[in-house]
């Protein structure tokens, strides 16, 4: 029971209809999801499937129209808890430019904890710590707008980490980054889970990133369409493709080979595993 | 090999020269775009990709060096600039933020109207361009009611409607879901296949770039670090990684397989190529 970070029960949500007299359409309908503390969950889904809407429910930026969202035992509908919920659950968005608020990196990182009323000496420690975690400590006195997209995104993540959240929701954090920027963000996520025990929710279109999670949840039209370990979800190639998604290239390759009758395993999520499995098959006499 | 249509010669661009923010974004870039080819341009953020392609239709001017459209300097005169603007079509990054008309039709018609074409010709081009990107059904809708992927396709149609001989796109797939990426890529390829236009795609996605590019150019800190056929570029995975890039997953896999003693023929950088190579091996095994 205490292991639960997030509990979503029968969550329904709609945005107000733009045209008068028209009934608004459900953007989320009947979502149930329980996320364990310290776990790393990836959320996939076509554009418009409701991923960002779901994410915004996790720190009370949006409130349920039906059902409930409970984070670390706190019901998001309880307004008295909103501040505490935002302190526990941080959000990182796609566009780093929209998340930078100050002209100096360390001031930027201090912004959120300052807003939460944390005492100044404590903020100093937290800011330094957060900047070290994301590997941007040497840049603490730089101007954020002169940094690369990937570096800006790491600053945005440091800003969230400085609040010492128990859970961080990343909404397509790598969509605007180059491969190096993406690798850096994924490495930071790995550290947060392992070293800080943070519960991580990662929304992404990159299957290779989702394959690193403990669990993959697939959304389609406001509902959960698939839910399981990456090795299980990504082997359902045709189902995923029908939902407008793909699988990691290594799985796709194995799937193509199996279609042609080659007896290789399907669940090779990374290059190393895939190479091993193929070598074993092709070196057998 | 086709002759070049567009060239940059020793192209250098300095932002904010003479200020503390002076920034040399491009430094002596020689680039050649050949008639009818698909050219992929890759490079880390800040390597100068967007700066480079904005030179290709005279949106920004070189600090030094030249841009030549069939041998003629595109910044030479007003009429040369006008020519470059209609023959070289540029799709910006996140172009959907630049839609502004009340209907999709009007948005697509904006470019051809500026070219002072007849109303019949404008109408024909709008419908044709809409066809290329699959938004014929949406012409009467407001662009603001569309999904992100649809908006982006409308924005691309607006450039296609000018029927450019060189279509240049700045990270056209960024931020889209896999289905949206595939659609955009297919749209671009269908324009290329049906019109024979040259296509320049700036991208981070090595797999996507690899799929159809005839040639690739790698930018690094404002200079051309590599250029050649995709298989030549991707064979240099370690260098790519040092430049903040990545080799396609299949290239990495083929390197590992060779290290493990699996004999693969030739260079492999797409899933289709890898599957074909391995099936050949499997066939050989079957007969042995
Ligand atoms: N602020 C908003 N107002 C009205 N509709 C919205 C708003 N945000 C999202 N939507 C709609 O809700 C649906 C789900 O959107 P979203 O949660 O952003 O999906 P995803 O993140 O999976 O792309 C889409 O149809 C989208 O157009
Ligand atoms: N309008 C501008 N003013 C000043 N510097 C700029 C401007 N646009 C780009 N730069 C700088 O020029 C360099 C190259 O940028 P850009 O061409 O956008 O690269 P890319 O598209 O490869 O990310 C970067 O260092 C960037 O910060
Ligand atoms: Mg979203
Ligand atoms: Mg750019």
**ipTM for the complex shown:** 0.82
Confidence of residue B288 (pLDDT cuts 50, 70, 90): very low
Q: Are strands A199-203 and A40-45 parallel, antiparallel or unpaired?
A: parallel
- The secondary structure element, H or E, covering residue B169 is strand B166-170
pLDDT of residue B1: 65
Superfamily of the domain at A4-247:
P-loop containing nucleotide triphosphate hydrolases (3.40.50.300)
Enumerate the residues of chain A whose CB falls inside 8 A of the CB of residue B174.
Answer: 175-176
Residue B161 makes CB contacts below 8 A (sequence gap 6+) with B108, B109, B111, B112, B125, B126, B128, B129
- Give the residue with greater pLDDT, A149 vs A137: A137
**Residues A45 and A245 sit within 8 Å (Cβ to Cβ):** yes
Say if residue B206's pLDDT is above 80: no
The whole-angstrom distance between A274's CA and the closest CA on chain B is: 8
The whole-angstrom distance between B151's CA and the closest CA on chain A is: 12
Atom 3 of ligand 1 has which residue's CA nearest to it? A15
Domain regions of chain B by residue span = 1-91+164-177+197-228
Q: What is the separation of C-alpha B66 from the centre of its chain, rounded to a whole number of angstroms? A: 21
Q: Distance, CA A19 to ligand 4 centroid (Å)?
A: 37
Give the separation between CA B68 and CA B54, rounded to whole angstroms: 14
For A44, half-sphere exposure in the C-beta direction (CA atoms, 13 angstrom radius) is: 32
Please, what is the end-to-end C-alpha distance for chain A in angstroms?
52
Tokens 């029968």 sit on residue = A10
Cα distances from B62 to residues A128, A164, A208, B9, B13, in angstroms, run: 42, 47, 39, 10, 5
By the CB < 8 Å criterion, does B261 face chain A? yes
Measuring CA to CA, which residue among B101, B215, B95, B75 is closest to residue B160?
B95
Residue A49 Cβ inside 6 Å of ligand 1? The answer reads yes
As a whole-number percent, the residues of chain B with pLDDT over 70 amount to 98
pLDDT in tens, A229-238: 999 999 999 9
pLDDT in tens, A45-74: 998 999 999 999 999 999 999 999 999 999
Closest residue of chain A to B257, computed from CA coordinates: A275
Q: Which ligand is nearest to the CA of A56?
A: 1
Confidence of residue B283 (pLDDT cuts 50, 70, 90): confident
* Overall average pLDDT of the B175-181 stretch: 85
CB pairs A-B closer than 8 Å: 113
Confidence of residue A97 (pLDDT cuts 50, 70, 90): confident
Say if residue A38's pLDDT is above 80: yes
Written as six digits, the tokens of B122 are 């404008």
Which residues, judged by CB distance below 6 Å to any ligand atom, belong to the binding site of ligand 2? B 15-16, 23, 25, 43, 45-51
Of B148, B245, B279, the CB nearest to A179: B245
Is the Cβ pair A257, B147 closer than 8 Å?
no
Mean residue pLDDT of chain A comes to 92
pLDDT of residue B286: 55
Tokens 């600090």 sit on residue = B63
Residue A277 makes CB contacts below 8 A (sequence gap 6+) with A254, A264, A265, A268
pLDDT in tens, A242-252: 998 999 999 99
Say if residue A89's pLDDT is above 70: yes
State the architecture of B1-91+164-177+197-228 in CATH terms: 3-Layer(aba) Sandwich (3.40)
Beta bridge partners of B34: B4
Mean residue pLDDT of chain B comes to 91
Q: Are strands B223-228 and B72-73 parallel, antiparallel or unpaired?
A: unpaired
pLDDT in tens, A188-241: 999 999 999 999 999 999 999 999 999 999 999 999 999 999 999 999 999 999
Residue A45 Cβ inside 6 Å of ligand 1? The answer reads yes
């Amino acid at each position: 029971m205490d292991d639960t970070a997030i509990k979503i029960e029968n969550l329904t949500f709609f945005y107000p209809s733009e045209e008068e007299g028209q009934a608004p359409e459900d953007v989320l309908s009947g979502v149930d999801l329980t996320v364990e503390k310290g776990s790393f969950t990836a959320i996939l889904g076509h554009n418009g499937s409701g991923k960002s809407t779901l994410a915004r429910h996790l720190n009370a930026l949006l409130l349920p129209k039906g059902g409930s969202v409970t984070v670390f035992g706190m019901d998001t509908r309880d307004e008295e808890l909103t501040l505490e919920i935002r302190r526990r659950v941080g959000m990182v968005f796609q566009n780093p430019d929209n998340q930078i608020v100050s002209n100096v990196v360390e001031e930027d990182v201090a912004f959120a904890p300052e807003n939460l009323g944390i005492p100044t000496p404590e903020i100093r420690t937290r800011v330094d710590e957060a900047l070290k975690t994301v590997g941007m400590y040497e840049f603490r006195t730089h101007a954020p707008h002169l940094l690369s997209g990937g570096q800006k995104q790491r600053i945005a993540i440091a800003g969230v980490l400085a609040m010492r959240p128990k859970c961080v929701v990343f909404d397509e954090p790598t969509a605007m980054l180059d491969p190096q920027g993406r690798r850096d963000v994924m490495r930071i996520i790995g550290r947060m889970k392992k070293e800080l025990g943070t519960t991580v929710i990662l929304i992404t279109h990159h299957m290779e990133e989702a394959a690193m999670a403990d669990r993959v949840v697939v959304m389609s039209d406001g509902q959960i369409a698939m839910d399981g370990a990456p090795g299980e979800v990504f082997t359902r190639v045709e189902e995923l493709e029908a939902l407008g998604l793909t699988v990691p290239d290594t799985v796709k390759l194995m799937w193509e080979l199996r279609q042609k009758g080659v007896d290789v395993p399907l669940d090779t999520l990374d290059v190393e595993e895939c190479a091993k499995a193929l070598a074993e098959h092709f070196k057998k006499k | 090999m086709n002759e070049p249509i567009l060239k940059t010669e020793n192209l250098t661009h300095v932002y904010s020269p003479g200020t503390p923010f002076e920034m040399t974004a491009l430094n002596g870039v020689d680039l050649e775009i050949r008639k009818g080819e698909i050219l992929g341009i890759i490079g880390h953020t800040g390597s100068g990709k967007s700066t480079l392609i904005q030179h290709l239709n005279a949106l920004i001017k070189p600090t030094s060096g030249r841009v030549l459209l069939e041998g003629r300097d595109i910044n030479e005169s007003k009429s040369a600039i006008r020519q470059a603007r209609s023959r070289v079509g540029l799709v910006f990054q996140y172009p959907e933020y630049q839609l502004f008309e009340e209907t999709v039709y009007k948005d697509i018609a904006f470019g051809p109207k500026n070219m002072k074409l007849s109303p019949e010709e404008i109408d024909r081009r709008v419908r044709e361009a809409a066809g290329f990107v699959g938004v014929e059904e949406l012409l009467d809708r407001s662009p603001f009611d569309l999904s992100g992927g649809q908006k982006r396709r409308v924005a691309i149609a607006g450039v296609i409607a000018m029927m450019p001989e060189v279509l240049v796109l700045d990270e056209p797939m960024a931020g889209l879901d896999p289905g949206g990426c595939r659609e955009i890529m297919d749209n671009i390829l269908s324009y290329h296949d049906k019109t024979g236009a040259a296509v320049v795609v700036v991208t981070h996605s090595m797999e996507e770039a690899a799929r159809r590019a005839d040639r690739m150019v790698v930018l690094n800190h404002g200079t051309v670090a590599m250029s050649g056929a995709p298989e030549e570029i991707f064979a240099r995975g370690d260098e790519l990684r040092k430049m903040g890039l990545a080799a396609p997953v299949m290239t990495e896999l083929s390197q590992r397989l060779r290290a493990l003693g699996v004999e693969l023929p030739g260079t492999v950088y797409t899933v289709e190529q890898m599957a074909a190579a391995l099936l050949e091996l499997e066939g050989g095994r079957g007969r042995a």
